[in-house]
Amino acid sequence: MIGIVNGEDSYKLLKLLKHDSRPLRDVLADFDAAFPRSLRFPLCTSLYLILQDKIMLSPTERLVAFSILHQTYASHSPSANPFICFLVIAACDDGAEKFERAFIVQLLESSSGSAKEIFKQSASDYVQGFDPSMHTFPALDQLQQQYSNGAHSESYNCLFKDTKVKNVMPDPNVPSGCNKNSPEFDLLPGTKPKIGSGDRDETIAGLLSNISLEGLGPRWIRPRPPRLPIQDGELVWLIPDNNHELLWDYGMCADTSRGAAVRDLIAKAAKGPLVPAQQEKVLMELANDPKLVYHCGLTPMKLPDLVENNPLIAVEVLTKLINSPEIAEYFTVLVTMEMSLHSMEVVNRLTQAVKLPSEFLRSYISNCIASCENIKDKYMQNRLVRLVCVFLQSLIRNNHIDVKEILIEVQAFCINFSRIREAVGLFRLLKTMEG
């Protein structure tokens, strides 16, 4: 299994834990300086795995490790710390030393701004000066509600977790309850090495960089899936039948010159006005072959130029495209393009030729009104207002739009430009329709 961190980083981390005689704030500052932010979560995960087994670290090293786990995420809320649930459970572990539980409780309290003095002490000074009578140990429910409420619990629990064989075990040569770091357990000259002798840090670093500390679990049993019975109809795919009947494409050699001519004329029409003969040819070809409109080369991006230069051709093309799935894109371009006499002419002719969506007409009218209100030049503003009023009167008189849908907006437009005669006439028409 791939390790969590490499051997060099593991050695640096374990060396940092041994600084138990230095103030904790200095050790934490060294941790931040020694490791980039991208490595801090893998390193904290390594500490989390080591701390789960009480034989891996000395008591003071465990306090340093707990402070790193907590302070690495101290700038976030407690529930955002990925190891907060582990810290809360460790603070309520009856099998742990009381000074360790009290230390973790003070770490948790430092999240709210209190108990900051703990980081001025070293881990050794804290253990030596610990007084059990000065500390109380809150219940697990209280700590969970106060610090880990809203935090994610353990994300994954394997069914085989309890059956895993641990790959870290106590030294059989050290009796239970004895200090495994005592000199009496060191290797003496001329004697046979004990089972657990050797560099402990080297062993821990090797575990972190080569295998998982979560233990060796049983392998999943993956039986070979049963094979389904072969059906008679499936055998035909072993030797496919290739005796297919050929179909002739009658349009393969069809004359495409008409489509090419129309494409050329549409391209010219988007650049400038066509002469009457060219305009008549385009209209005639589109009338003779309605499907030719799908191959004429017009796109929504070219529509504004076609509307301004050849509005009659634009009307004919849009009429033929009315049932196309792309017609909504063309309508969107008509609404958002700059308002002009030709664009209103195109929309007016379209309302007479086909049934236009009411949403499109409302949006177009709103754009016309907004354009009139935003123009700064008074002469051009008066001219556009007259055009819009004539356009709206045509739509209303021919029942191409429901007056109730635009009544309030158009009335406000007429009142705003009441100095213009056409706006007064439109207002009177609205009042007549309303009555």
Q: Provide the CB-side half-sphere exposure for 61 (13 A, CA).
A: 17
Q: Tell me how far CA of residue 323 lies from CA of 7, 280, 300, 330, 354, in angstroms.
A: 68, 24, 15, 12, 10
For residue 369, what pLDDT is reported? 87
Residues of the chain with pLDDT below 70 are 1-5, 111-116, 150-202, 206-217, 251, 253-258, 435
For residue 4, what pLDDT is reported? 60
- Nearest CA to 351 out of 330, 322, 323 is that of 322
For residue 155, what pLDDT is reported? 47
For residue 327, what pLDDT is reported? 87
Q: Which two tokens stand for residue 17?
A: 């834990």
Work out the burial of residue 191: count CB atoms within 10 Å of its CB; fewer than 13 is exposed, 13-18 middle, 19 or more buried.
exposed
d(CA 2, CA 387): 76
The per-residue pLDDT for range 107-164, each reduced to its tens digit, is 888 766 555 678 888 888 888 888 888 878 888 888 888 777 755 555 445 555 566 6
Q: Which two tokens stand for residue 227?
A: 């094979």
Is 387:351 a contact under the CB 8 Å cutoff? Answer: no
Give the length of the chain. 435
For residue 415, what pLDDT is reported? 87
Annotate 143-199 with DSSP letters as a single string. Answer: HHHHHSTT----S---TTGGGPBPS----TTS-TTS-TT-GGGSPPTTSPPPTT-S-
Report the Cα–Cα distance between both ends of the chain, in Å, rounded: 84
For residue 199, what pLDDT is reported? 62
8-state DSSP, 325: T
Is 87:66 a contact under the CB 8 Å cutoff? Answer: yes
